[in-house]
Amino acid sequence: MDLKQIQYFIALFEDGSVTRAAKRLNIVQPALSMQIAKLEEELHQQLFERGAHGMAPTAAGRLMYRLFLPIMRDLAHARQQLQQRDEVVTGHVSIGLIASVTESVLADSLSRFHARYPHVEVTVADGFSATFIDWVAGGQLDAALINKPRSRLSLDSQTLLDEEMVLATSVEHGPDLPHTIELAQLPELELVLPTKRHGLRGVLDTAAQHEDVLLAPRFEIDVLSTIVKLVESTRFATILPRIAVGRAVQRGTLRAHPILAPRIVRHIVRVSHPRRPLSAAAEALIEIIADELHRVSNASGTNATLVPKETV
């Protein structure tokens, strides 16, 4: 088994087709098929099922992918560090971002990053905090920005932003409410909230349980932009971070009510693997995203705090 065979295996696993994988690797299909066959013979394991619709990995193939992907990422990062010349940052960054970050600052962050580091490729995954924790631990992602979970993390964690969550209602259709509202009053409203799989819902439920308040939303939706659109046109209310509703508040379609007694605060943290140091490119991208989060939070008038770099 050599590195080239492992690279071929990973490409075929991810593309699911000899044709696509060979094109990605810039080799001919027979060469790819021959190397995979040699690998299977050496391991005494069938790694793929050949079918009419492509190559489906076997249980052995899936195990090999989980074991070798982190190793190949580590080798790629090491190569990137050794190849740096004249302060030119190169390589590839794979990062996971929760929806409130992607929807509010991703486009501007990538624009700034590309202008500064034009030789770096970036892959961004959008999903749930719990999923990203598993992917960072397994090596599928270099790092992720998530809502800080209630459970203890085995990954390195750095807090980037502390931000209050607000009650949002429609300016045109929403109920007549005071400027501020207490947590105990929230069950009286018809609510639209993220599902219990969502990191933001974990923040809300923790605060509610602490105050012995039961939140029973009429609708549960994980797509934050859909929640915002629904609330804009109905009497429903939602509880989201200010950066998630900031644009709607600025264009005058939503009203944001601070929640008091107590305030609900979510913590955006960066997680990375303790044994896989982040590349210079990954560190630079995360720093830009954190700066954009702070800028957007200030623009939306939130009581947000940009937290200094610190591993917790």
| Domain-wise residue ranges, the chain | 3-82, 89-160+267-306, 163-266
pLDDT of 85 over the 60 cut = no
pLDDT top residue among 69 and 252: 252
Cβ neighbourhood burial of 183 (10 Å; 0-12, 13-18, 19+): buried
Choosing among 2.120.10.10, 3.30.1490.270, 3.40.190.290, 3.40.710.10, the CATH entry for 163-266 is 3.40.190.290
Note the pLDDT of residue 97. Answer: 96
Sign of the dihedral defined by the CA atoms of residues 101, 105, 107, 111, in that order: negative
Residue 152 DSSP code: P
For residue 56, which of 115, 7, 12 has the smallest C-alpha distance? 12
* Residue ranges in 140-241 assigned as alpha helix (H): 199-210, 224-232
Share of the chain above pLDDT 90, in %: 52
pLDDT of 78 over the 80 cut = no
Note the pLDDT of residue 136. Answer: 92
pLDDT of 241 over the 50 cut = yes
Sign of the dihedral defined by the CA atoms of residues 300, 303, 308, 312, in that order: negative
pLDDT top residue among 16 and 169: 169
Q: Cα(56)–Cα(298) distance, rounded to whole angstroms?
A: 48
pLDDT of 259 over the 80 cut = yes
Q: What average pLDDT does the chain have? A: 87
pLDDT top residue among 172 and 82: 172
Report how far Cα 128 is from the mean position of its chain's Cα atoms: 7
Residue with tokens 């060469």: 31
Note the pLDDT of residue 304. Answer: 45
pLDDT of 200 over the 60 cut = yes
Q: Cα(140)–Cα(295) distance, rounded to whole angstroms?
A: 29
Helix 18-25 × helix 29-43 angle, to 10°: 110
Confidence of residue 301 (pLDDT cuts 50, 70, 90): low
Note the pLDDT of residue 305. Answer: 47
pLDDT of 129 over the 60 cut = yes
Cβ(230)–Cβ(221) below 8 Å = yes
* SS3 at position 193: strand
**Rounded average pLDDT over 54-82:** 81
For residue 264, which of 195, 163, 194 has the smallest C-alpha distance? 163
Q: CATH assignment of 3-82? A: 1.10.10.10
The counts of H helices and E strands in the chain are 11, 13
3-82 and 163-266 share one fold? no
Cβ(102)–Cβ(240) below 8 Å = no
**Rounded average pLDDT over 187-203:** 93
pLDDT of 192 over the 90 cut = yes
pLDDT of 140 over the 50 cut = yes
Q: CATH assignment of 89-160+267-306? A: 3.40.190.10
Share of the chain above pLDDT 70, in %: 92
For residue 43, which of 78, 72, 16, 6 has the smallest C-alpha distance? 6
**Rounded average pLDDT over 121-145:** 92
